[in-house]
Amino acid sequence: MSFSDVIVAIISAHINSIQICLIYAVGVIISSVTALLLHFIKDEGILRRSYSRLELRYLLLCAVFNTGGSTLFIASVKFIPVGDATAVFRTMPVMAAILGRIFLGLRLRCIDALFIVFCIVGVTVIARPSFIFHAGEEQTAPSNNHKILGISFALASAVCFASIYMFGTELSEYKIPADVIMSLNALVFLLLIAAVWSVNRQWDCFQTTTVALCLLAGAITGIGQLMVFWAVTKEKLVVVTVILASNVIFSNVLQILLMHIMPHWISAMGAALVLTSCVGMALRKNETGQEQSNKIEERSV
């Protein structure tokens, strides 16, 4: 999905974020619906099962937060390098832990608090606000404001997807297929962005290359998200989380190769702190999950 993020960053220099989102959403829905139809060919019952009100509520909440998270991330790369945006976005496991503590009452240990501190410091270092990093940083007020705005968008995107993680844990109990969730997410994304586009009257003509790249980015994202859903069913969540964290490295490499933008060494330090907190939180949750499963087995014996 790093390739998709870099494509969006390149396109953002030519058209605005809402325009990107609409074409991008079409690409996502094409890949998601294709996967759903292939699943339907093998199992016709996938579209015939009935859903309870609670299931539909969780599905709709996931779709709305997915729309918000995707839109905010696409908006963030217009203001900050895609490598920085990806690093901030990967604070998602830490955000999920914080939201779980606030809304679900999940327990946080001292080590969790340490990872949260690492995350906050890492994001601050990436943002490099002028009131802290004033020495040696020749930043004008507008450029600093744009950087803070981009970081805020990426952070808000991480919060949105962390919320999806909470709802997803509930959906996992109902055994809802990943392609059904993805297709609904893509459909709601497309409808909401189309409504915003219509209200703003942004019916512009785009170059064929721009449209093709947007569609490609959306399709890659859709395929990537489906693969993540599939990976979670086959492998431990901690392994998938660690692999996804490598997205930060790939995004920076592609940023150098395709956009010729070198990441700032201070941003690299901040990204390292964010990755440490992300991987550490995932490992800690895996350890907690094993302890809980062992206790359940002891009680059953």
Per-residue pLDDT reduced to its tens digit, 14-42: 888 888 888 899 999 998 888 888 877 77
Q: How far apart are CA 186 and CA 192, in angstroms?
A: 10
Cα 201 → chain centroid: 28
The per-residue pLDDT for 51 is 78
Q: What 3 state SS string does the chain have? A: CHHHHHHHHHHCCCCCHHHHHHHHHHHHHHHHHHHHHHHHHHCHHHHCCCCCHHHHHHHHHHHHHHHHHHHHHHHHCCCCCHHHHHHHHCCHHHHHHHHHHHHCCCCCCHHHHHHHHHHHHHHHHHHCCCCCCCCCCCCCHHHHHHHHHHHHHHHHHHHHHHHHHHHHHHHHCCCCCHHHHHHHHHHHHHHHHHHHHHHHCCCCCCCHHHHHHHHHHHHHHHHHHHHHHHHHHHCCHHHHHHHHHCHHHHHHHHHHHHHCCCCCHHHHHHHHHHHHHHHHHHHHHHHHHHHHHHHHHHHHC
36-77 tens-digit pLDDT: 888 777 776 666 777 788 888 888 988 999 999 999 999 999
| pLDDT, averaged across the chain | 80
pLDDT(228) > 50: yes
Residues 158-177 have a mean pLDDT of 77
Q: Is the pLDDT of residue 171 over 70?
A: no
Confidence class of residue 200 from pLDDT cuts 50, 70 and 90?
Answer: low
**Which of 121-125, 193-197, 280-284 is modeled with the greatest confidence?**
121-125
- The predicted structure's pLDDT at residue 203: 58
Please, what's the b/e burial string for 105-125 (b: 16 or more CB within 10 A of its CB; e: otherwise)? ebeeeeebeebbebbeebbeb
Give residue 202's pLDDT: 60
